[in-house]
Chains A and B, each alone.
Chain A
Amino acid sequence: MMEPLFRIEKLSVLFGGLAALSNLDLEIGRGEIIGLIGPNGAGKTTAFNAIAGGLRPTGGRVIFQGQDITGWKSFRVARAGIVRTFQNIRLYSDLTVRENVMVACHSSIHYSFVEAVIGMGRFARDERHVLTKAEKLLETMGLLDMADEKASALPYGSQRKLEIARALALDPIMLLLDEPVAGMNPMETLDFGRLLAKLHMECELSIGLIEHDMSFVMDVCHKIKVIDHGVPIAWGTPKEIQKDERVIKAYLGAG
């Protein structure tokens, strides 16, 4: 059997005596879109934090491209190719839209701070490269005409898009999206679904997705993992999940 792109084994996070997440197993292959769903407080965001380095897992392993990345700091995980977005949008609100994307290109620059100060060597070439890359990404996202606005001045939907643009600036292999369509209206959600499909087609991105909008999840995800109270309860295609009794019970309560 071939080693999948990304695999977590028995990932657990304990807060004191409370198991926020226990024994989560998950595999994401190249180019797959996997949904992670569950009621509020199920441990979905905790799982993302444990993967992306915001939180040190208390047990289990995270393997990406055959490399054990368990407990890596978040900037190392991001540089390795797993980039996340946040549930509550976290842009650099006082920087412009363009700068927000350019910041994310920082790990791709080659020049040292000394070259930045004297302005020689690789400085000019790298800066030009970063600028064109940022503008191209903004164009794909339809944000180019707002490039000089402050990020905090953007409407909500555009802020979500900017967060994706920023994540893409790192040339990720896998994206982790934490509730990307929360707070969007049905039209925006539809738009966003199309955008995701396009990205997925063009860049062969693998995507891990947390979302509460069920029709969106059922629409875009290839496979879905359901967790409740930190414990995984189901795994399968959207159709299988919709019929699973334990899932229905977890969402609607024991009737």
Chain B
Amino acid sequence: MAAFLVFIWFANNHFTQYSIRILNNIAIFIIVAVSYNLINGITGQFSLEPNAFLAVGAYTSALLTLSPEEKARSFIIEPIIWPLSDICVSFPVSLLIAGLVTALAALVMAVPVFRVRGDYLAIVTLGFGEVIQVVANNLVPVTNGPLGLKGLSPYTNIWWSWGVCLFTLFCIVRLVNSSYGRAMKAVREDETAAEAMGINAFWIKTLAFTFSAFFEGVAGGLLAHLITTISPSLFTFLLTFNLLIIIVIGGLGSTTGAVIAAVLVTWGGELLRFFEEPVNLFGFQYEGIPGMRMVIFSFLLVLVMLFARSGLMGRREFSWQKLIDWVRMRVRSLRRKG
């Protein structure tokens, strides 16, 4: 933990702007991946919502932190409606409100959807994502339409992103290891049997969905203040698709897996840019093909799915105890051989 804080401090002072940006991205993706995994992997309710909830969180917190003058300046098509035009709160408060608003949206969706069984959640969340896009494009007095919101202060630094990231991890790991987490897993394994053992599956699913929505909303707020400009086109279905890839690679149902895969995919995506740049390999001139990294990326994906069908971690979790046991076992077997 201390080593990690030192690393953050070191990174903040000595890394290039580009590396810090990647670290921030990784933190935000970890937040979203871990909370997405809570509903998809742990509770086993297939949903397709991250892009929508990120959008809700991003717009909410952006509208709250922009100063009234800034808002008046950027809303050129139609002026912004009254209460929003005057509100201006600090960054942490805006993050909190973004989380709560997103959680509320999730709650409104969860109540009708979880009354019935089956994969309706996927359809409803997919639809909600599209609705949010349309709303963001057309509700001009609130969202400024396709122009989006510009000129946000870049509040999100490495401390904020990793601080929130660690807080999210702490909360979700605690929840999963409590009786509520066990109930979520029971609902995933066999909903009928879970209900027969006195578990209110409706409430457990709603809890998981709302809980993950809260953190996705906060992540949306962080994202908005990292890139400082948001528009509807930022939150397409492709974003959800990326996150689905992350949690499937990590292993559906494993928080550790979600973290590892979020790091690998975000950082790896940058590393693979190497293949798009011209290089001189032993006198052979490689021009660099734009889009090459996506080809390699999908190739790697296929490999992961071939050799680790249930993801890198399966449903296992990392624990220091397990690591120590494993090292001891290795040492013992080495000694026996020697």
Task: List chain A positions with a Cβ less than 8 A from chain B.
Answer: 52-54, 73-75, 78-79, 83-84, 86, 90-95, 99, 102-107, 109, 111, 113, 116-119, 123, 126-127, 130, 166-167, 169-170
- Say whether B193 contacts A86, CB under 8 Å: yes
A95 near B186 with CB under 8 A, answer: yes
Q: How far is the CA of A83 from the CA of B196 in the complex (A)?
A: 7
B182 touches A99 (CB 8 A): yes
Return the CB mask of B177-215 against A: 1 if under 8 Å, else 0. Answer: 011111101100110111111111100000100010000
B179 near A127 with CB under 8 A, answer yes
Residues of B within 8 A of A78 (CB): 195-198
| Contact call B179/A94, Cβ cutoff below 8 A | no
B interface list, Cβ under 8 A from A: 171, 174-175, 178-183, 185-186, 189-190, 192-201, 207, 211, 315
CB distance from A2 to the nearest CB of B (A): 28
Chain A contacts for B190, CB-based, 8 A:
90-93
Partner of A106, one of B171, B182, B196, B211: B182
Which secondary structure characterizes the binding site on chain B?
Answer: helix
* B196→A103 contact, CB < 8 A: no
Smallest beta-carbon distance B111→chain A, Å? 16
Indicate which residue in A53, A99, A106 contacts B199 across the interface (CB closer than 8 Å).
Answer: A106
**A74 and B196 form a contact (CB under 8 A):** yes
**Bound-state Cα–Cα, A170 to B193, Å:** 13
Point out the residues of chain B lying under 8 angstroms from A104, CB to CB: 197-198
Closest residue of B by beta carbon distance from A100:
B186
Q: Which residues of A contact B178 (CB under 8 A)?
A: 111, 113, 116-117, 123, 127
Whether B198 and A92, one on each chain, are in contact in the complex, defined by CB atoms closer than 8 angstroms, is: no
- How far apart are A60's CB and chain B's nearest CB, in angstroms? 21
Complex contacts, B197 vs chain A, CB 8 Å? 75, 78, 83, 103-104, 106-107, 166-167, 169-170
> Which of B181, B185, B192, B211 is A54 in contact with, Cβ under 8 Å?
B192
Not counting A73-B195, A103-B197, A116-B181, a sample of 17 additional A-B residue pairs whose C-beta atoms are within 8 angstroms of each other reads A52-B196, A74-B195, A86-B196, A92-B194, A93-B190, A95-B182, A102-B182, A103-B194, A104-B197, A107-B197, A107-B198, A113-B175, A116-B174, A118-B174, A127-B178, A166-B197, A170-B198
Contact B207 A103 (CB under 8 A): no
Give A85 Cβ to nearest chain B Cβ, in Å.
Answer: 8
CA distance A79 to B203 in the complex (A): 15
Question: Bound state CA distance, A27 and B207, in angstroms?
Answer: 39
A169 contact set on B, CB distance < 8 A: 197
Closest residue of A by beta carbon distance from B314: A94
Q: Which residue on A lies nearest to B170, using beta carbons?
A: A117
Known A-B contacts A104-B197, A107-B199; the reply to A92 vs B179 at CB < 8 A is: no
Residues of A within 8 A of B181 (CB): 116
12 cross-chain CB contacts under 8 A: A73-B195, A74-B192, A78-B195, A84-B196, A86-B196, A90-B196, A92-B189, A93-B190, A102-B179, A103-B197, A106-B199, A116-B174
- What residues of A have a CB within 8 angstroms of the CB of B171 in the complex? 117
Q: Which residues of B contact A116 (CB under 8 A)?
A: 174-175, 178-181
Give the residue among A54, A79, A92, A102 with the most B Cβ atoms within 10 A.
A92
Q: A residues within 8 A CB of B207?
A: 113
Find out whether the CB atom of A92 lies under 8 angstroms from the CB atom of B174: no
CA distance A119 to B173 in the complex (A): 11
With a CB–CB cut-off of 8 A, which chain A residues contact B179? 102, 105-106, 109, 111, 116, 126-127, 130
User: Which of B182, B193, B198 is in CB contact (< 8 Å) with A90?
Assistant: B193
Interface pair B175/A75, CB less than 8 Å apart: no
Query: What's the least CB distance linking B108 to chain A, in Å?
Result: 19
| Residues of chain A within 8 A of B193, CB atoms compared | 86, 90-92
